[in-house]
Amino acid sequence: MAAKTERTFIAIKPDSVQRGLMGEIIKRFEQKGFRLVFIKVASEDLLKQHYIDLKDRPFYPGLVKYMSSGPVAAMVWEGLNVVKTGRVMLGETNPADSKPGTIRGDFCIEVGRNIIHGSDSVESANKEISLWFKPEELVSYKSCAQDWIYE
Ligand SMILES: Nc1ncnc2c1ncn2[C@@H]1O[C@H](COP(=O)(O)OP(=O)(O)OP(=O)(O)O)[C@@H](O)[C@H]1O
Ligand SMILES: [Mg+2]
């Protein structure tokens, strides 16, 4: 299992922090068997940089305003295929296309208030994790459940 273990960057966006959904979202990743490596609730000027690839899109100014409107809970989660599986757990970018049972499918309605971010590839995960965290912030530990979650 160790060889394919990945880390992903998940951000609980300001709307879900304000709506009290942090616990529910963390619970889903925890119950799945993924391991929380770091979490900070922060209101930082990293958001413009985080979404820099979207800077030419018409919704970019609104997106930066939305993401800067309150604290986000920035997290790193670790586990086998956590990047891809994490995106499945989030649902589609537009909540209207997200199936019930996914986080966006269950808790939000509009694309501009889609409550959570998850890295879309291992490459973006690495880039986003190094943007948001210092290496020494990311703890390494073996969960006591590991041998019951992985063969
Ligand atoms: N048409 C739109 N109108 C308003 N906001 C949008 C629109 N498209 C995307 N966004 C916002 O920009 C974010 C980033 O868009 P992106 O295409 O990267 O989708 P994503 O990878 O599913 O979302 P995220 O990067 O937040 O996980 C979306 O999550 C959403 O908050
Ligand atoms: Mg994205």
| Domains of the chain, residue spans | 7-137
Q: Active site includes 117?
A: yes
CA–centroid distance, residue 82 to ligand 2 (Å): 15
Q: Is the predicted pLDDT of residue 47 greater than 90, yes or no?
A: no
Structure-model confidence comparison of residues 46 and 9, the more confident one: 9
SS3 98: coil
Contact at 8 Å (CB) between 51 and 64?
yes
Return d(Cα 21, Cα 72) in angstroms, integer. 12
Catalytic residue among 7, 35, 50, 117: 117
CA–centroid distance, residue 151 to ligand 2 (Å): 32
- Give the mean pLDDT of 127-139: 93
pTM of the model: 0.95
**DSSP states of 42-97 as a string?**
E--TTHHHHTGGGTTSTTHHHHHHHHTSS-EEEEEEEEETHHHHHHHHH--SSGGG
Ligand 1 atom nearest to 67, measured from its CA: 31
Taking CB atoms and a 6 Å cutoff, what residues make up the pocket around ligand 1?
Answer: 54, 59, 63, 93, 111-112, 114, 117-118, 120
At the second CATH level, the architecture of 7-137 is 2-Layer Sandwich (3.30)
For the record, the structure tokens of 89 come out as 């757990």
Q: Which helix (H) or strand (E) holds 16?
A: helix 14-18
Instruction: Report the nearest-CA residue for atom 28 of ligand 1.
Output: 93
pLDDT tens track for 109-131: 999 999 999 999 999 999 999 99
